[in-house]
Structure 1
Amino acid sequence: MGLYLFAVALVCAPAWARTPPAMAPAAQRADSIVVDKSERRMRLLRDGKLIRTYSILLGDAPSGHKRQQGDERTPEGAYRISGRNPNSRFHLSLRVSYPNEADRKQARARGVDPGGDIMIHGGTPPGYRRDWTDGCIALSNEQIEEVWSLVPNGTPIRIDP
């Protein structure tokens, strides 16, 4: 019986396994991201031209630059997409390279932990319009799937107030 269940699971696994979207062809990928916190917009650009715009939601305390762990602010400044998590509890996620050296230096000077694990991720229910993250940039699951395919690791991201 055990071998039978194992065989059924092996054959049926692809039916429920989540596979992240494939990367878009290189000519369609973004080469930079600009986030405007005040407008709640994220823009993907290629060669300086807009290719996509998304409505976003932010941390519960969205005003100002992230200063320390737990402040629920979304950082401001220049970063990069430094990794991706296909098994995120928020569907899919792209890691933002916060904290950078300047963030770490400022946190050290204040004697605090700068925090980390800032992501662009899914998980926002359709129609939901309230900031809800701990400092991340939130999209719908459908949107993060598109962003996942258009944004390679290493892409610069500028987060503006």
Structure 2
Amino acid sequence: MNKRTKYIILALGILGFIFLLYNKNFALAENSLEPPELKYSKLFFGIGVLSIGIFFLSKKMRNLLITLAISGFTICLILNISLSIQIFESVRIGKIYAEYGELDTCEKMEKRFATDLKNKKIKYFQCLTSFNPELEKILKNEYNIETFGMNCETESEKECYNKLVKKYLKKEHNKSFIDNL
């Protein structure tokens, strides 16, 4: 095995291991169930480690073992990067939701809406029980409004914010479709 191959295997193995640790800690914090990507990632990392171990014991199949190690570590890394992206998005949404959850009056929501409108970062909070994916697409694609799910019974302040969004759409874009929601 040449130096370049050793460094590739070492780098893939170390990165895979670091991502495994990170994702194990944060994926389980976000969700009590282990994501399938993490399970498969562990499996492929194990294949990579096993291949390296056998490489030193067997001289007959070294090329195959190197290929297996590189493949295992690469697939492990790809799965972990994909999972990390999902975790980052989930954490981002959680932070935004918590930030708006601290605004406990309609007046605070009105001030926040004015700031969001100025920064062109408007949000819309839909009831989780009647979440409309089509509305989410329309708001995102046509008006650049990000949609979040909410518990409708306990979050009346977010309804104040939604009323301002509806007013804005009606006034600025002459769209009243959202009034029916």
TM-score by length of 1: 0.26
Greater CA radius of gyration, 1 or 2?
A: 2
Q: Which has the higher strand share?
A: 1
Q: Which has the higher helix share?
A: 2
TM-score by length of 2: 0.24
- Which gives a bigger RCO, structure 1 or 2 (Cα 8 Å, sep 6+)? 1
